[in-house]
């Protein structure tokens, strides 16, 4: 699995994909937070916090993650390399997890430089102090959200040899789980309570308060494992 992880991870940076993902992620966040006028501009909010960043980043990941994962299995099938991959001494779980962790590492690399935003706001807020609890909780939430997005993207990638189809289906599934269910519950409040509890947005808001609840962690882990299991099941077939 380690060899597959290294191969997939190195593939991001031996082509423009890795640099584009990290570069575009940081560029759009910087423009939204510091330059573009609007609700997400830190200077316009009047508060020394990173709520604007944590509000905008999930939407960037919603588009970026399916764009990264759409080629994970689609390329293997369209190029005929999936047969070569499956002849190696790797179980199907190792193949799926190798690709998952390679993409997850890329997302973490994209998030790490944004810590400079937190330290910059901390300096700007002097002599006041910013609350680090919600910031740490929100970073944990973003990491878990990225893991779920990746698991969904891998699943949709294995459904079709066409990368565009994989991207669009992944985008639709992620959007429905992240935001669609939340809006359906708002429109139809008579729906059972469990509907809101399966919304990614609900659990992200909860963990972003700075209190890392085991129920939220279990939810993110369960959804991630569910889609990874579906990916492995499809690979078996």
pLDDT, averaged per 10 consecutive residues of the chain (237 residues), comes to: 79 78 83 71 66 84 90 79 76 89 92 85 69 84 94 92 90 90 74 72 82 85 95 88
Interacting residues of 134 by C-beta distance below 8 A, sequence separation 6+: 49, 208, 209, 210
pLDDT value at residue 76: 77
Cβ-based neighbour number of residue 24 at 10 Å: 15
d(CA 236, CA 96): 11
What is the structure's pLDDT at 45?
62
How far is the C-alpha of 3 from the C-alpha of 5, rounded, in Å?
5
Among 60, 59, 56, 54, smallest CA distance to 206 is for: 54
Kindly report the pTM of this predicted structure: 0.90
């Amino acid at each position: 699995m380690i060899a597959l992880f290294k191969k997939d991870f190195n593939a991001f940076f031996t082509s423009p994909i890795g640099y584009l993902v990290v570069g575009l992620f940081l560029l759009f966040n910087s423009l939204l937070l510091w330059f573009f006028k609007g609700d997400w501009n830190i200077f316009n909010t009047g508060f020394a916090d990173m709520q604007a960043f944590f509000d905008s980043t999930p939407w960037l990941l919603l588009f970026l993650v399916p764009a990264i994962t759409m080629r994970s299995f689609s390329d293997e099938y369209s190029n005929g390399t999936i047969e070569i991959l499956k002849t190696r001494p790797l179980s199907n779980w190792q193949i799926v997890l190798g690709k998952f962790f390679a993409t997850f590492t890329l997302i973490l690399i994209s998030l790490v430089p944004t810590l400079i935003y937190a330290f910059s706001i901390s300096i700007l807020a002097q002599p006041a102090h910013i609350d680090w609890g919600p910031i740490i909780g929100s970073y944990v939430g973003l990491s878990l959200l990225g893991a779920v997005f990746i698991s969904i993207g891998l699943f949709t990638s294995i459904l079709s040899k066409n990368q565009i189809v994989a991207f669009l289906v992944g985008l639709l599934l992620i959007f429905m789980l992240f935001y669609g269910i939340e809006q359906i519950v708002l429109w139809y409040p008579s729906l059972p309570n469990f509907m809101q509890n399966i919304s990614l947005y609900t659990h992200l808001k909860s963990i972003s308060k700075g209190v890392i609840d085991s129920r939220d962690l279990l939810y993110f882990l369960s959804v991630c494992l569910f889609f990874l299991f579906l990916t492995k099941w499809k690979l078996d077939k």
